[in-house]
Amino acid sequence: MTISKILELYARSGRSLEDIGLKEAALDLPEAGQALDLFAGQKWLVLGGDVYRASSDGRSLEPTHENWFYEGSNVDEGISAARDFLRSLRERSLFVVFVVTGRTPPR
C-alpha cells in the first residue's frame, strides 16, 4: 500500500515542473521528509535530488543548483544522506525532486 501513498502524496502536494520542460514533480521540504519515509518503506534507493525555489512571481519553480547525490547501494544510507542534505538547507521555502531507483534486490 505504500506505493499508493507515494502517489497520493505527489498528487496532493507535488508541484509540476512542466513549465521548465521537466516531466517531474517537486515536493516542499515537509512533504519531502514524508516521501523519504515512504521510500524507506518500499526499500527504494534514493540516489540524490535536485532543489528548486519558487520564482519571483511564485508561478513556477527555478533550480537552486544545490543538489546532492549518493553513489552507494544501501537503501538506509541513501535515505540518511538525503535527510542530512535536506536538514542542511537554510531556506525553508524550497522544493525537492528525488532520484530513486525503485526496489533494490534483497541481499
Better-predicted residue by pLDDT, 105 or 17: 17
Say if residue 6's pLDDT is above 80.
yes
* Total-model pTM: 0.88
| Angstrom distance (rounded) from CA 51 to CA 65 | 7
Domain ranges of the chain: 2-93+99-103
- Kindly tell me if the per-residue pLDDT of 11 is higher than 90: yes
* Contact predicate 44/105, CB 8 Å: no
In sequence order, which residues have a C-beta less than 8 Å from that of residue 58 and are 6 or more positions away? none
For the domain covering 2-93+99-103, report its CATH number. Answer: 3.30.190
